[in-house]
Amino acid sequence: MTASPAWAVVPAAALVVVFAGAAAALDGVLDPAGRGRPMSGRLGRPLWETARLLRQRRRTTVAPDALLWRAGTAGPLVVALLMAVVVPVGGITVADPPVGLVWFNALDVALWLTVWAAGWGANSVYGLVSGYRFLSQALAYELPLMFALTAPAVAAGSLKIGQIVAAQDKTWFVVRMPAAFLVFLVAVAGFSLWGPLAYPAGRDLAGGVLAEPSGVDRLVLLAGRYALLTVGAGMSTALFLGGGAGPLLPGWLWSLLKTALVLAGLVAVRRAMPVLRADRVMRLAWLVVLPVTLLQLLVVSVLALGGS
Amino acid sequence: MVLTQLLGRWAARRPHVLAVAAPGATAVRLAVEVEMARIGAVAATAPSDADVLLAVGSPGDELRDAIDLVWSQLPGPRVRADIDDPAEAGAVLRQVVRQLSDPQRAAEPDRRDEWAERAPDTHGEDMQMPGGLMMADRGPDRDALALDVLTVPLGPVLPDWPSGLVMDLQVQGDVVQQARSRILSAATPPRPFWDAAGPGASRRHAAAHLDSLQRLLAVAGWPGMAWRVRRLRDSTLTDTPGPVLRGHLAAIGRRLNRSPTLRWATDGLGVLTAETADRLQVSGPAARAALEGGDVTARWRRWLTETDALLAGEPAGPGPRGRSVPGRPASAGLLAAADELAIGLDLAAARLVMASLDPDPDQLAAAPEPAEARS
């Protein structure tokens, strides 16, 4: 895998934005409330919403912590773009540092701060409660996510994402570690505040962390959610689905196709079930998911020892 | 200029509408919801999310003040309208959307931000409060720690919330310590929409249960399913044949009963025992659910069962919320039960419990002050 010149961050960011927009368009198509309306109107939903929010004024609240608030709302998008730096598309990547996987993990932990700050900064009860809702949700998904990330690293014997992709030349890691793959996808929904894990953006609290920001702030926060989903789908492709491996088509196209497929699955799951409250999923996360992930890691480690 | 017009046109294709219904305006609210779906409008989650503020029905003074306050919080470009007649809902909404795409609207002179300019209030010993806000008091919590107590009203403007309901809460963190609910008044005496008697009563009561169910599902964070139930509610109020409706209901019921995640959200939550139901004079589905476990799950299952029976032609009971006696409408007991059960729950759970009891504000705003009847 070749590292790219610095300007490669521009097309990488553009790719994330395009995929995030496509995810938002798909979400519009899948929304049952749009059924019976012309397809163009449903596909164009990201455009209408973006136009709305660009036209809308920003607003403030009583005595907000303005710095934390604005930084927090911009945070998810920034984190997603920083994550995208290490996500390979076929054989191309902006950077492939020896600790690429740790970079990704460190950034998803940075979301703890930024989403909390987005909730706290507005000085509103709904935002504040929702910021803490995110922390409790993160407490449920973060450890399983870390161990799920460890599994491909152990199997490949490297934290370098290029080598993890290369180690899947015979079998994709999803075959060897299906549980880690599933846990990773759930965690992606978790840090993107998406679908059943949108508890911190809950409608029961007037949108939670989304209760106060308007205009550009809201646009950036919403775009950040889709961008995180996109980058998560891209990373799952590299870690578990063999990256750009596939017959006939070039590697970069395979990478994009697999990413699109995972992303579509993540978008579709939004309407399949109600939101999971953190207090209810905590038990499941710590008593079932975490042991399963550890068991998965054990199996992978034993296989790695036997194979080498 | 061209860009501004284009943005305006695009923005108006998906207007976010915050509809604030007054008690007693259920018929208008239903019409507004149908028309909003027709023009592709979205129900806003908060003032910050709204382009359009609709006052539905005829709000009384306190609710009118709340609507004015919310209006000042809309970021803009914004439009405001009143709807008091189900027949005019479509026309008003279409006109409002036209106004919204008007470039002049975007140029509405910058409003003064009333928060930023508010003078710092003084409190007690001349202590300056940040932004004029009161500091939180301390109180012992359930683990015997001294924690900040915050007084927070839920409602009257909150998505998927009974019209005109205000639940004054004392919370520590997001855990409810005390709850006291009241219904704001309407300017005109409301006539309970769901408590129909006579030939159409069964259908009306079935639709009442479906309306409650869609609100519960929306609060549980399952908007897709809430939308399906809302559609079924609307067809129940038309002359769609009963067997068709029952077919849809059965499909919905299967999805709900088979959803482990919905069960996680509602099982064992807000248990209303038969004794408590008796003491608070709760009758109707909530009281019958008390014999089947009494939790939120039992209550939504009860709605499914009773809706099906009503659609199958079973004669309607005294009312969808139970039996009302003069001075004590059926919903008064439900409201009192929601306050009692909320204590010790977090906000999400308290909202689910309220939605699963779903007191009908139309009944309560019509009745004398419910607080007296409670004691």
Q: What is the pLDDT of residues B270-280, one digit of tens each?
A: 999 999 998 99
**How confident is the prediction for chain B on average, in pLDDT?**
85
**Is A246 exposed, middle or buried (CB count within 10 Å of its CB: 0-12, 13-18, 19+)?**
middle
Beta bridge partners of B179: B169
Q: Which residues contact A98 (CB under 8 A, 6 or more apart)?
A: A158, A159, A160
Q: Which residues contact A60 (CB under 8 A, 6 or more apart)?
A: A66, B113, B115, B116
Arithmetic mean of pLDDT, B237-252: 91
Arithmetic mean of pLDDT, B323-335: 88
Last residue of a domain, one of B106, B121, B144: B106
B 59-78 → A contacts, CB under 8 A: 73, 75-77
**Domain for residue B171, yes or no?**
no
Cis ω for the linkage preceding A32 (within 30 of 0): no
Query: Which is more confidently placed, A283 or B128?
Result: A283
Q: Could you give the CA distance from residue B350 to residue A50 in angstroms, rounded to a whole number?
A: 34
CA-nearest residue of chain A to B18? A206
Hey, what amino acid is at B255? R
3-state secondary structure of A296: helix
**Domain for residue B232, yes or no?**
yes
Record: contact B14-A45, CB cut-off 8 A: yes
A 121-140 → B contacts, CB under 8 A: 123, 125-126, 129, 132-133
Q: Which residues of B touch A61 (CB under 8 A)?
A: 115
Nearest CA of chain B to the CA of A294: how many Å? 24
Q: Which residues of B touch A195 (CB under 8 A)?
A: none
B210 and B96, same structural domain?
no
Record: contact B219-A60, CB cut-off 8 A: no
CA-nearest residue of chain A to B216? A204
**Domain for residue B168, yes or no?**
no
Q: Which residues of A touch B352 (CB under 8 A)?
A: 204
B101 and B231, same structural domain?
no
**Domain for residue B117, yes or no?**
no
pLDDT at site B134? 63
Structural contact between residues B25 and B57, judged by C-beta atoms closer than 8 angstroms:
yes
pLDDT at site A305? 85
> How remote is the C-alpha of B70 from its chain's centroid?
16
Q: Which residues contact B355 (CB under 8 A, 6 or more apart)?
A: B160, B212, B215, B216, B219, B220
Does residue B344 carry a pLDDT above 50?
Answer: yes
CB atoms within 10 A of CB A211: 25
Nearest to B188 by CA among B359, B28, B370: B28
Nearest to A193 by CA among B221, B191, B188: B221
Q: Could you give the CA distance from residue B57 to residue B162 in angstroms, rounded to a whole number?
A: 14
Record: contact B75-A57, CB cut-off 8 A: yes
Q: Could you give the CA distance from residue B327 to residue A44 in angstroms, rounded to a whole number?
A: 53
Mutate to test the interface with B, among A73, A204, A221 (most CBs of B within 10 A): A204
Share of chain B above pLDDT 90, in %: 49
A 53-92 → B contacts, CB under 8 A: 54-63
Q: Which residues contact B187 (CB under 8 A, 6 or more apart)?
A: B22, B58, B59, B60, B61, B64
- Is the CB of residue B109 less than 8 Å away from at least one CB of chain A? no
CB atoms within 10 A of CB A140: 26
Number of domains chain B is built from = 2
Beta bridge partners of B178: B170
**Domain for residue B132, yes or no?**
no
Mutate to test the interface with A, among B39, B45, B73, B354 (most CBs of A within 10 A): B45
DSSP letter for each residue of A130-155: HHHHHHHHHHHHHHHHHHHHHHHHHH
pLDDT in tens, A174-221: 888 999 999 999 999 999 999 899 999 988 888 888 888 998 999 999
Distances (CA, A) of A283 to A135, A185, A265, B280: 15, 19, 26, 34
Q: Which residues of B touch A272 (CB under 8 A)?
A: 224
Record: contact B11-A51, CB cut-off 8 A: yes
Burial B101-131 (b: 16+ CB within 10 A, else e): beeebbeeeeeeeebeeeeeeeeeeeeeeee
Q: Which residues contact A88 (CB under 8 A, 6 or more apart)?
A: A1, A96, A161, A162, A165, A238, A243, A244, A255
Last residue of a domain, one of B106, B129, B147: B106
- Is the CB of residue B170 less than 8 Å away from at least one CB of chain A? no
Cis ω for the linkage preceding A38 (within 30 of 0): no
The residue ranges of chain A whose pLDDT is under 70 are 1-3, 308
- Is the CB of residue B229 less than 8 Å away from at least one CB of chain A? no
- Is the CB of residue B2 less than 8 Å away from at least one CB of chain A? no
pLDDT in tens, B170-195: 988 888 989 999 998 888 887 788 88
Beta strands A92-93; A2-3: pairing state:
parallel
pLDDT in tens, B32-44: 999 998 888 899 9
Q: Could you give the CA distance from residue B299 to residue A56 in angstroms, rounded to a whole number?
A: 41
pLDDT at site B106? 58
B 38-57 → A contacts, CB under 8 A: 40, 45-46, 48-49, 51
- Out of A57, A199, A272, whose CB is closest to B76? A57
Helix (H) or strand (E) holding A236: helix A215-240
Structural contact between residues A246 and A254, judged by C-beta atoms closer than 8 angstroms:
yes
- Is the CB of residue A207 less than 8 Å away from at least one CB of chain B? yes
Give the residue extent of every domain in chain A.
2-307
- Is the CB of residue B8 less than 8 Å away from at least one CB of chain A? yes
**Domain for residue B156, yes or no?**
no
Q: Which residues of B touch A281 (CB under 8 A)?
A: 264
CA-nearest residue of chain A to B223? A271
Q: Which residues contact A248 (CB under 8 A, 6 or more apart)?
A: none
**Domain for residue B97, yes or no?**
yes
Q: What is the DSSP letter of A289?
A: I
pLDDT in tens, B254-268: 999 999 999 988 998
Q: Which residues contact A147 (CB under 8 A, 6 or more apart)?
A: A180, A183, A290, A293, A294, A296, A297
Last residue of a domain, one of B72, B106, B140: B106
Does residue B128 carry a pLDDT above 60?
Answer: no
B370 and B237, same structural domain?
yes
- Is the CB of residue B223 less than 8 Å away from at least one CB of chain A? yes
Record: contact B13-A41, CB cut-off 8 A: yes
Q: Which residues of B touch A199 (CB under 8 A)?
A: 221, 348
Record: contact A62-B132, CB cut-off 8 A: yes
- Out of A33, A275, A280, whose CB is closest to B221? A275
**C-alpha torsion sign, points B339, B345, B349, B353:** negative
Q: Which residues contact B369 (CB under 8 A, 6 or more apart)?
A: none
The CATH number assigned to the domain holding B359 equals 1.10.645.10
Does residue B120 carry a pLDDT above 80?
Answer: no
pLDDT at site B155? 80
The CATH number assigned to the domain holding B68 equals 3.40.50.12280
Mutate to test the interface with B, among A273, A283, A284 (most CBs of B within 10 A): A273
* Confidence bin at B225 (pLDDT 50/70/90): very high
For chains A and B, count residue pairs whose Cβ atoms are closer than 8 Å. Answer: 155
Weakest-pLDDT range from B9-18, B250-259, B297-306: B9-18
* Confidence bin at B99 (pLDDT 50/70/90): confident
**Domain for residue B192, yes or no?**
no
Beta bridge partners of B265: none
Hey, what amino acid is at B301? R
Arithmetic mean of pLDDT, B288-293: 90
- Pairs from B8-11 (Cβ < 8 Å, separation ≥ 24): B8/A51, B8/A55, B8/B77, B8/B100, B8/B101, B8/B102, B8/B103, B8/B105, B8/B106, B9/B101, B10/A44, B10/A47, B10/A48, B10/A51, B10/A52, B11/A48, B11/A51, B11/A52, B11/A55, B11/B51, B11/B77, B11/B100, B11/B101
* Confidence bin at B103 (pLDDT 50/70/90): low
Record: contact A198-B347, CB cut-off 8 A: no
- Is the CB of residue A29 less than 8 Å away from at least one CB of chain B? no
- Domain of B6 in residue numbering reads as 2-106
Q: Could you give the CA distance from residue B359 to residue B366 in angstroms, rounded to a whole number?
A: 13
